[in-house]
Amino acid sequence: MPRWTPCKRRVFIKKLVRLGFSSPEPGGRHFYMRYGRHTLAIPNNPEYSVPQLRMMIKEVEIIIGKTISLKEWEGL
């Protein structure tokens, strides 16, 4: 059975762009990505742990208004 695995920051950003987010913009201490009028702060960690990744994906799900399954996430 597939499991969630840690994700590199660069890979996470590429997947968000495929979901429709704009490319990262600098601002303050973090980079930001926009989806319509919503803004998502991108942490500066080189790699995101599974709990951190799941938390950020939950935020993305709220912003885009749909659920992202593990299979869909790996396919991005």
Nearest of 49, 10, 50, 59 to residue 31 by alpha carbon: 10
Convert the pLDDT of each residue in 17-55 to its tens digit.
999 999 999 988 899 999 999 999 999 999 999 999 999
Range 55-76 average pLDDT: 95
**pLDDT for residue 2 is more than 90:** no
- Our count of domains for the chain comes to 1
- For residue 12, the domain's CATH number is 3.30.920
User: Does any domain span residue 1?
Assistant: no
Q: What's the whole-model pTM score?
A: 0.92
Residues 6+ apart with CB under 8 A from 42: 9, 12, 13, 24, 30, 31, 32, 33
Domain of residue 25 covers 7-75
pLDDT interval class at 12 (50, 70, 90):
very high
Please check whether residue 59 lies inside any domain of the structure. yes
